[in-house]
Amino acid sequence: MNRLTPLEIQRASFPRKLQGIDADAVRELLSRVAEQVEEEARIRGELRSQVARLTQEVEDYRQRTHAVNEALVAAQRTAEATVARAEAEAGRTIGEAQALADRLIDDAIRRAENLELVISQLKGRRRSARADLKRIAELLGGTADDDASAEDREAQTPAVAVLRPRQRESKV
């Protein structure tokens, strides 16, 4: 069955009968029905337009939701990969730092041992130098004593000897 348009309702005509109904009343009713059908059609059109717009919005939101979900999943994967790389890099850095610390500690231990050896050698040299100084002091003391004795001996003997002529025996 075809749908009637408001214009068809307004132009509708009916066959006349002898004891028929009031044609003006029918026309008035048909006019009101046509206005209501027209209003209903306009509202239906607006509602269809709204439904189409809302359907499009829902589809847009679905697409956005899908895109956001994909972005979130990608971000999650990226974050997980970044965290994994950072943890791996941190592990490598810690390992390298630990190895460097171990090398530095070993080097410091070797240097400390070398310093202890040098200190021990220096202490030995100091003892040797002290002994040498004592010997030199004894030698100098002995030399000073010898010089004092020599000075005393010299004091007992004149410093300059006067030469006196010898007496000659006379030949007489």
> What mean pLDDT is predicted for residues 81-96?
96
Domain boundaries, the chain: 6-12+21-144
Confidence of residue 24 (pLDDT cuts 50, 70, 90): confident
Which tens digit of pLDDT belongs to each residue from 131-163? 999 999 998 888 988 888 888 888 787 656 556
Burial of residue 80 (CB within 10 Å: 0-12, 13-18, 19+) is exposed
Write the CA distances from 50 to 41, 44, 65, 157, integer angstroms.
Answer: 14, 10, 22, 149
pTM of the model: 0.42
**Looking at the predicted structure, is the pLDDT value of residue 31 above 90?**
no
> What mean pLDDT is predicted for residues 46-58?
96
Distance between CA atoms of residues 106 and 14, nearest Å = 118
